[in-house]
Every structure is written in structure tokens, then in C-alpha cells.
Structure 1
Amino acid sequence: MNIKRHILLAFFFLLTNFAFAQTIPNVVRIRLGSSVKFAVRDQTGLYSYQWYRDGKPIANASGAAYTASVAGLYQVISISAEGCKSDLSDGFLLIIEYADLEVSKISEKRYVGPGEAFEYQISVQNNGIIDATGIEVIDKLPSNLKFIGTIGEQIGNVTVADQVITWRIPTLANKQKLVLSLNTTAIKAGTVVNTASVTAIEPDPNLANNMATDIKEIIGDVVVPNVITPNGDGRNDVFKIDGLELHPNHTLFIFNRWGNEVYRSNGPYKNDWNGNGLNEGTYYYLLKIKEKNGSERSTTGWITLIKD
């Protein structure tokens, strides 16, 4: 006995809708987090059922109806009281609709100091399968960061209040990406940690990419140490001069106590001198820096080299 059932019922949002399966499956769309009920309409003479998703049996799905919330092609086999099985029915292709928003925030890679303007870029992209609406990007600026303004034209509306930048976008289509460029300046030297977040009206299955953090180091004044201990413990192993990143045009000279040159940087100093091959003792340095305005300045001092 071969029983074939081709007709399923689909119930959407508590409203009963009759859908007749064809050779090409009917497409059913629901929002992420919702569900739809499929059922065998004509149950005369039938004993049990087996529901399938994407051609594989679903565990414990043996009733005349099945509530689905996972995307896939749903079909059913009917079993008569005598144990005869039908062929797989035609089915419904269930598509889960969602908007997957991804935000990123990136600062300029160049070195900057306090009071020097630099740019941030905030980008938001919809990786989902439907349009996202009511998008809101929030960027809470840390206290060390001052907002100057936006750069170029932007889609949507940007407002700033109490160090909070709010970027509202009416609609973002599937795979569409928008970028907002911000001009800022840091008040003082140090590490600036800045995080942006994004939300929308539609459900988002991947909240991990709804926030993005940028870490920017604001370079301070040139600071030269006066001792190095190259013993491999990770502390003071090299002669490290802070702040040279803002002054790429410089040369470092190191002399022994008799005035003999023992080291000269080949171009910008790479913070890598460790006194290799030299005896313990006091050495002297001369740091020549060419400023951005073309002027030159020199800094001198002493270094104590200690070898444990």
C-alpha cells in the first residue's frame, strides 16, 4: 500500500493559511525567533508520521503537525494503520529572516600627540538576508578624546551630546556598508580606548559583531632613561626612548667616558641598543631631533650600563 500526502497546512502568527505543496517547494518566510506550524491536512486512515528537514528525519517528530523554527526544507512521510509508508511529500522551504549588523571602528595608523587632530572611521554593514531598519550606532567618546566634527558627507543623522556620538540610519540593505568619518583630538598623552556599538529593529543572530573597540596610543614628550640592565628579564634590557615616534627625523649617538663614539643610529633609532660588547659603566648620549617646522634641537645625558 503506497500512500502519498502532498498537502500540508501552514499556520502563520496564529492565523490559519492553507498552502498546497508543488514540485517546486513553497517558500515560507518568518522572522528570527518566530515559528511556523506545518500539518498534514487529510489524516484519514493514517496512524503516524515522520517529519524530515533537508532530507533527514527529525527526532521525535512523529505527529500530524510539526512546529518549525529552523531554516530548511520540510517534508513528511505518512504511515497507515497497516504499517504502509508513503513517499516523501513535497514540502515547504522555510527561510529565517534576520539582519546581521557588523560594526567596526578604526583610527588613523599614523602617530599623533596631544592636541593633534586625527581621524576615526566607523563602518556598519548588514550581513543578513533582509533590510535592516532603525539602525543606531552609538560611540561613547572617552574623557581624553575631543570631538571636532564629521568629515565629508554621510547618510543618516549624526548628533553629539555629552561625549556620545549617535548615528541614526533609516535603512541598510543586505550587504550594504556605510562609513562615518570623525575628526577628533586627544587632550593628553596615553592610551585611548574607544568602543562603538550598533542596534536595529530586526532580530540579529550574531551579537558578537555588534561592538567594536579601537585602541590608540597618543604619543607624549621624548623621555630618555638613564640606566639599562641587559640581563634578559624583559625590564630595561634596551635603551628605550619614549616619544621618538613623533620625531622620525633624528639621530642618536652614544659615547664612552673618553668621548669615543660606540654607537650611532642608522636612520631613526629603533630602541634596540643594549650595550652589546661593552663593559659596565657610564656612557653619554647625544640625541639630535629635527622638528616638523624644520628647527633642530639636541638632547644630551648619561646612561649607566649594568650587567648582572
Structure 2
Amino acid sequence: MEKKIKQVLNKYIIVLALILFHAPEIVAQSISAPSTFTPVPCSGGASVQYAGAICLNTCYYQNAAVEFTYTGFAGGTFTLELSDGSGSFASPTILNPSGTVVASSPGRINFNWPQTVAGNTYKLRVKCNAISLTGSSTPPFPAYFKIYNDIFWLNNQISTALVCSGGGGYTLSVDNPTPNVQTSSPANYPSLKYKWYKGTSPAVLIPGEIQKSLTVFSDGIYHAELDYGVCSDQSSITRSQNVDVKFQSGSGSFTIASSQGTSFCPSTPTVLSTQAGYTYQWFRDNVAIPGATSNTYTTGEGGSYHVQIGQGSCSATSNTLVLTPTDFNLSIDAPSSFALIPDDTRVITVTTDAANPTYQWYTGTPLVAIATETNASYTATAIGNYKVVVNQTGTGCDFAKEILFTITEGSLAVKIPNVISPNGDTKNDVWEIPQEFISPTTEVLILNSVGEIVLQTKNYDNKWPSNPIEFKSINPVFYYIITKEGAEAKKGSITVIK
């Protein structure tokens, strides 16, 4: 019986051996982990295998590639998957969304790095869609896209901050002078994180501080860096300047200076300045100037200036500086608004002591230069808005001043009154004529009944009679003649009643 059992087993072993020796070769299907290559920089150049972190910027994230091998199948369409920053493939990013057809091993996939990578444990893996086979992943690696890759500044680019002790801490903050220009400051990218350091050689990281501002409470040299992990840079790129913060018990004594001296040309404004590092409020003629809160203030206006430095127990007031801009006198022989009778004209003349003056007259809304009117006088013929600009030239301090005036439509001469009653009741006590008959070029002449001149003037002030008029048996009658250059004289009578 035992002999028969051994014979049967031997037959099965022989059959199994024949099957194994004559069966087709069986090979396992697999995809290797990809080898990463750096992107080609904007200036061109060959890709090389990259060991370590993937540090990207706007000129260095495109035209990257991976290579991989596979066995056990003939090829197909492959996709390249990127994990999240923690290494999870739960929701991978497909770096070649359309897939890449590979017919033989090794395969190569070209792609662009996402501009959102910011982490230390990314992984890559290759997947073949045709057979639903996923390859091995790479070891974890850091990857950062430097969305802002330039220097930046703190607190208006100061190098020293002198802070009042007892007034609380001092806040360092990333400058953002042009928030409408996104690339001008890292503060325009809310997703960015920062690393703050104190000291030099070496600078010591301040733990837990990742925002764009930092409040400090002790002396020290501080700076900020953009946090790009291992891709961060201790050089001037992606790093702020050093700020030496010094706390002290008092603000001390401050003096202000003027870059142009106390007498300056209005066309070259002067810069007032004092020691940097505090809080400031500038004053002109003892009135606070809105927005003037830096250690410098630029002005083209004369006046008495000082600056209040600091606050509370550390506040101090600077010396007072009186600025006197170079100036010249300018006037015209017309009020800021006057009337002009239809079809009438009026000559307006400039009076000035400007050196080597030039003239330009303007009219319209908006005001436009009248090309041919460049003399000291201008003959107005129409209502509207006007301006004359006078430039002082050839003195080393060339600047301009202007005068605006308006001409309205005047009334006709029929409104010249012919009766007055100077009885002290404030009604019709004086002879008042329309404004269009009052000017340096219009003469007003008043005569009594026997032809004697009782008033002869230009620029009549609407105050005749200034003295009591004697009444007899009849009401006195006077006669007027109004003469304006280039116009027909206006004549009439004035009856004086009680």
C-alpha cells in the first residue's frame, strides 16, 4: 500500500514539473517612483536632476519633467500625481491633466509646477490609467513657489527706531505704499507667512510670529523674512532691512532744519526734517497739518513751523522755524466779479513787481489759454471765467502766480436812479448806480443846477451825497454825466427830496 502511494505522488510531481517548465513566463506589473527634474529657467538651459527642495519663482516653474520605469505591461496613458503638502494623496493634483502616452519604458512626463506649492512633505507618483495601476511614490520633499521674490521694507525704510519707554511696545510692519500694485509689496499677498528675527551674527528666530507685523518690547536689531521653508533666503532677496529698535526714557531735544534755508523759492519746495525713529505731528502757525506725521515734511508755503515728537511722558517740541518764500506782488484793476453791459468792453490791467514778468490770459470752462493774449492788459468783451498767470523769470527763482475773476452780464443804463431822499432813514439816502458803471476807467461827474461840479471821480463808491444838502423853496436838482472809455456818455438828472 505504501509503495502505491509513493508511485502516485511521483506521478503528480512529474506532471507539475512539466507544467512549470512548459508554462509562459509570468512577470509582475509595476511602476517605479519618478525621478524629478528642475524646470528650465526663463533664460533657457538644460534640465538637470534635482536633489532636495523644489524652490520655484515666476521665472523658474515651467518645463519641468520626471522619468520613470515600468514593467509587466506594454504602456499606455500615464498621469503624474502630486500629493498635498503633508504627503497625502487623498485629493492629488494632476500635473498633466490630459495624460501622457508612453509606449516603452523608461517614460517621461513634462509638466509645470503649480504656483500654490508651499510645504515640506510633498510626494510624486505615476499612475497608468489603462490598467488602473499606481506606482510607488517619491520620498517626501519640500516645494515652495516664491510668489513674491524681492526685497521689502519695514516702517518706511527706517534703520533706527527710538521708542519711548512706558509707552507700550513698538510695532514693526511691512511697508505697502502702493496697495493697488500687487507686485510692489508682499503685504499684498495674504497667504504669505513671515519669519521674524532678532539680533545679528547669528540672528535668532522669534517663535510663533508669522504675520506681516511684529510688536517688540525690548532693544534689539530686528528683521523679517518671507517664510518659504528650506527655500527661504538669508540674503537681501525676500528679506527686509535691519531695524535697530532702542527704548529710552525721554524723547530728548530735537531741532528741525530746512533744506532750502528759511528763505526759499516756491518753485523749489523746502524739506523740513528732524531725527528719525519717533512719532510726529507737524504744525504750521500752531495748527496741526493733516497727514504730516513723518520725520520730514515738504512745503512750498511760508509760515511758522514746528514738530511735536513722541507722546505722553516722552513727548517733546522742536524749535520753531519761520519760512519766508520768495514772492512778488500781483494785482489787477478789477474786482473778483463784475458785470459787463452787452456790447460793452472793459480793459483789465495787471500791476506787478515780478522780475522780467511774462503774462498769459485764460478764459472758458475749463480755463484755456488765449494764445494771442500775452500782454499786461486784456480787453474783455464777453461774460465768463477768466484768469491771468504771471511768471517771474531770469532771477534763479522762477515761479508763477495767478488771479481769477468772473465777468457777469450787466444791466442797462435805464436803471440809473434819478431821485434820492437823504433823510437818514437808510432808504434811498444816497445815489447808487449799477456796478457796471463803477471802474477805474469810468468817470462819474455830478453838477448842480448852475453847472458847478460837486463830484468828479472814478471808481465811484455809491456814497453821494456825503454832506447835507440845503433845501429852499423847491427840491434841488443835480445833473450827472457818466463817461466810460469807448462808450457813449450816460446823462440824466437827480432830484433830491426830503
TM-score range, shorter chain: 0.3 to 0.5
Larger Rg: 2
**TM-score, length of structure 1 as denominator length:** 0.39
Q: Which has the higher strand share?
A: 1
**TM-score, length of structure 2 as denominator length:** 0.27
Q: Which has the higher helix share?
A: 2
Higher relative contact order (CA 8 A, sep 6+): 1
